[in-house]
């Protein structure tokens, strides 16, 4: 099926991107006393666990292969 092929390719691309691109995370810390606000904003960039990336890639490959087999068997 075309949808399985498409979903598989998207998962493979997301898995590879998650290995390379860090995800930014912003936190705000501060104190509020009456009308005065004192705060600090921190930003960190973290990568996703490699296990999750491998799972995304493996799932994408499985969907792509399954979609290709279904497509060739229906012809």
> pLDDT for 22-63, tens place per residue?
989 999 989 988 888 899 999 999 998 999 999 999 999 999
What's the pTM? 0.68
Tokens encoding 2? 């075309």
Tell me the residue range of the domain where 9 lies: 2-73
Please answer whether residues 64 and 4 qualify as being in contact, where contact means their C-beta atoms are separated by less than 8 angstroms: yes
10 Å CB burial of residue 7 (0-12, 13-18, 19+) is middle
Number of domain units in the chain: 1
CA 54, 44, 35: angle at the middle one, nearest 5? 145
Name the pLDDT band for 74 (thresholds 50, 70, 90): low
Residue 27 sits at φ, ψ, to 5 deg, of: -130, 145
């Amino acid at each position: 099926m075309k949808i399985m092929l498409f979903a598989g390719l998207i998962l493979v691309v997301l898995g590879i991107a998650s290995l390379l691109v860090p995800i930014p995370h912003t936190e705000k810390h501060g104190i509020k006393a009456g009308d005065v606000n004192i705060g600090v904003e921190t930003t960190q960039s973290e990568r996703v666990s490699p296990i999750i990336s491998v799972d995304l890639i493996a799932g994408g490959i499985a969907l792509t292969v399954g979609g290709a087999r279904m497509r060739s068997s229906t012809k």
